[in-house]
Amino acid sequence: MSPLLAEIPYWGESLLRVLGGLVAVLLPAGTIVYVFLFKMMSFMQSRLGPMEAGPYGSMQLFAEVGKWLQKEDIVPERADARIFKMAPVIVLLSTFLLVVVVPFGPDALFTDLETGIFYALAVSSVSVLGILIAGWSSANKYSLLGGLRAAGQLIAYELPMVLAVMGVVIQAGTMNLQKIVVAQNSGSMFGIDAVGHPYVISQFVGFVIFMIAIQAELTQAPFDMPIAESELVSGYMTEYSGFRFLIFFIGEFATAGVFAMIASVLFLGGWGVPFSWFGWTSIDEVDNWMNFAGPLIMFTKMMLIVFIIMWIRFSYPRLREDQLQRFAWKGLIPVALANIMFTSILKVVF
């Protein structure tokens, strides 16, 4: 524990953690919405995007949130009201559960779980439950179809994601996310330690599979059948309005941010810079300023990964449900299994 936090009482520390969690979830979500959804999409489509609220429309998101909060909270008459109201909260909850294991610096982390990535993959599937009950409780055929599609899709893509992560875990020899970061930054490739050893290079296949899987987990095009606005109106979100829709909306982009953070931890070296640059050899020698620089580095890498996700989202048409399942089971999973086998052989040999 750093000396900064050591003098703060327990309640203060807990408060800091809660605030930190809110910032770690909402700040990336807001930035992603503004930079990518509002601006990048507009530039791709030869338009300017929001320009009125604030300079270059930067306050647009606040205007949108204000609009949503004013709207009526409609619950369909035949809907299962309690569960219907609960669903968006469950979806957002999984995002908050997910962010607690992400390390942002040598000491800037919420918890240091020994089985961090295992926990992250486990809680990320909680959102399936939220989406499924949202689809089921809406008493709407489109919602039901969307919810069922989402359940099928998220479960199908959980597997390649887990298998892609396995390669990293084998290579790092740990499930602790902090140790995975350290292993990448203090490692070396062919005896050269100038850039450490980001696993995106040695685990490139795993990285690609992981990116495809999170694209599907986040239900972004080309895997956005659960929402599929031209077929299912808005899928499982059809009946939601006002702040419950807002929670779904925040959840979508916050989860994108958190998944991108996990991807950058697993494959891009997370918060760290290559330790050889400053002559560090272990995590204990890392200077304290990394606790401030770390989150910024992390944020940059996250934006890079979200950029790829959004780029694909805005330019690709969507697959059909059966094509999506076929792609997961016949394409991604065998490749991921082969990747694990290859990685373990190399691990044993070297």
Report the interface residues with another protein, using CB under 8 A. Answer: 41, 44-47, 141-142, 145, 221-222, 224-225, 228-233, 314-323
Residues 6+ positions from 131 with CB-CB distance below 8 Å: 87, 91, 147, 150, 151, 154, 226, 236
Which residue's CB is nearer to another protein, number 119 or number 142? 142
Gyration radius of the chain's alpha carbons: 21
Amino acid at 158: E
Which residue's CB is nearer to another protein, number 32 or number 166? 32
Cα 238 to Cα 19, 135, 143, 234, distances in angstroms:
32, 9, 6, 5
The nearest distance, CB 320 to another protein, in angstroms, is 5
Which residue's CB is nearer to another protein, number 108 or number 237? 237
Which residue's CB is nearer to another protein, number 142 or number 275? 142
Which residue's CB is nearer to another protein, number 279 or number 317? 317
Query: Which DSSP helix (H) or strand (E) runs through 331?
Result: none
Which residue's CB is nearer to another protein, number 134 or number 221? 221
The nearest distance, CB 223 to another protein, in angstroms, is 10
Which residue's CB is nearer to another protein, number 152 or number 206? 152
The nearest distance, CB 327 to another protein, in angstroms, is 10
- Residue 346: how many CB atoms within 10 A of its CB? 12
Distance CA 162, CA 194 (A): 30
Distance CA 321, CA 260 (A): 25
Q: For the chain, what percentages of helix, strand and coil (3-state, to nearest 5) are there? A: 70, 0, 30
Q: What single DSSP character describes residue 59?
A: T
Q: Would you mind telling me the total number of residues written for the chain in this entry?
A: 350
Which residue's CB is nearer to another protein, number 110 or number 307? 307
The strand pairing partners of 189, in sequence order, are 192
Of 109, 257, 240, 245, nearest to 181 by C-alpha is 109
The nearest distance, CB 163 to another protein, in angstroms, is 23
Cα 221 to Cα 135, 215, 301, 312, distances in angstroms:
19, 8, 21, 7
The nearest distance, CB 117 to another protein, in angstroms, is 30
The strand pairing partners of 192, in sequence order, are 189
The nearest distance, CB 15 to another protein, in angstroms, is 41
The nearest distance, CB 144 to another protein, in angstroms, is 8
The nearest distance, CB 33 to another protein, in angstroms, is 16
Distance CA 156, CA 333 (A): 10
Residues 6+ positions from 235 with CB-CB distance below 8 Å: 135, 142, 143, 145, 146, 147, 149, 150, 225, 226, 227, 228, 229
Distance CA 190, CA 180 (A): 19
Which residue's CB is nearer to another protein, number 286 or number 324? 324
The nearest distance, CB 135 to another protein, in angstroms, is 14
